[in-house]
Structure 1
Amino acid sequence: MAYSAMAVANALVKRAKEGKVAHLSPMKLQKLLFYVQSWHLAKQGRPLIDDFFCRWKYGPVIPSLYHEFKEYGPNPITAYGGHIVEEEGALTKRRPIVSEQDTRTWELIDEILAEYGAYSGSTLSTMTHEKDSAWSTSGGVDGNPIPNDMLREATLRDGRFKARGAA
């Protein structure tokens, strides 16, 4: 089952609120989500997030999440993101999150945080630009989506993924 990008982003915000990832800036959030999606594709063969990362100057970005969290700039995110929906004539803000019963997804999130969580957003951005990464091999900085098959293939080649015994 694929989650909305906001639900998985909020799972990372939850881990930050619990003290399990330091300084979760918008850039760091985007890059951690990129690794969550990439590793899920490599392990499960299907996307976890129902959206696509686009090729932006500082690496892969889900535009809707950029706009939701950009107000934080380089600072840590302090609140969950959400969507405004209309229910019974009233506007309500929903804050989706990964189900607590979905232990497989939470384990993957924790695995990504163990591997990448100590890095800053700018360091993670640099890492996403490395030779043979999905961002670098999918085209130039043009805002277009990076195909999920490219995320999967690049992850299967990645030494970090292989070193964790995930391949």
Structure 2
Amino acid sequence: MAYSALAVANAFIEQGLRGNIPRLTPMKLQKLLFFAQSWHLRKNGPNAPLFDDNFARWKYGPVIPSLYHELKTYGSSPITSMLRNVENDDEGGFVLVTPSIPASDANAHELIDAIITKYGRLTGSQLSFLTHEDGTAWQLGLEDGEANGSVITWEQMASHIHPPSRMRG
């Protein structure tokens, strides 16, 4: 089952708020999500995403546009609170919900921990640089070397992430 990008983002934000990810900015979060999704797709196949949102090719690397708009008020500052959704309640009203990955999903939490171990100390700019390397999923869809907002497919993400030898801590 795929989660929402907000649920997976909140798993990273929670770790950032605990001090386990230094200076978790919106840009850094986007790139950590990109690596988490890519690793998950490589391991489980391109039809088994960790979360159901797509990345677009933006100037500074892969971005989930809806998440960008959710977090843009932070600018380049660290994220200071969990993300919330408004959902219908049982009485026909509305309730604020903080999407999350259930604690029982050990595989998802292990993946997030591995991403934090591998990439968590890097800055958003350093992570952006990694997504721009030759042969990456982001780089493959550029037109005339320019980011164009096109969708990065799950197949591209599964096939064009850093080789497993580079993924180890």
Q: Return the TM-score normalized by structure 2.
A: 0.91
Paired residue type of 1:12:
F
* Aligned counterpart in structure 1 of residue 156 of structure 2, from 129, 150, 158: 150
Matched, 1:36 2:32: no
How do residues 11-160 of structure 1 correspond to structure 2 at under 5 angstroms? 11-45=11-45, 46-87=48-89, 88-140=91-143, 141-155=147-161, 158-159=162-163
For 2:167 and 2:65, how far apart are their aligned partners in 1?
30
Cα 1:7/1:56, change in 2 over 3 Å: same
Question: Which segment is superposed worse, 87-96 or 55-64?
Answer: 87-96
- Structure 1: 5+ residue runs without aligned partners? none
Q: CA deviation at 1:142?
A: 1.5
For 1:91 and 1:125, how far apart are their aligned partners in 2?
37
Paired residue type of 1:130:
E
SS at match of 1:84: strand
Q: CA deviation at 1:17?
A: 1.5
Cα 1:94/1:115, change in 2 over 3 Å: same
For 2:9 and 2:69, how far apart are their aligned partners in 1?
13
- Structure 2: 5+ residue runs without aligned partners? none
Instruction: State the superposition RMSD in angstroms.
Output: 1.5
Give the fraction of aligned pairs with identical amino acids, expressed as a percent. Answer: 46
For 1:97 and 1:91, how far apart are their aligned partners in 2?
18
SS at match of 1:11: helix
CA contact (8 A) 2:141 2:150 kept: no
Count how many residue pairs are aligned between Structure 1 and Structure 2: 163
Question: 4+ residue stretches of structure 1 with deviation over 4 A?
Answer: none
Paired residue type of 2:139:
S
For 1:68 and 1:43, how far apart are their aligned partners in 2?
29
Q: Return the TM-score normalized by structure 1.
A: 0.92
For 2:85 and 2:44, how far apart are their aligned partners in 1?
28
For 1:162 and 1:152, how far apart are their aligned partners in 2?
15
Question: Which segment is superposed worse, 146-155 or 79-88?
Answer: 79-88
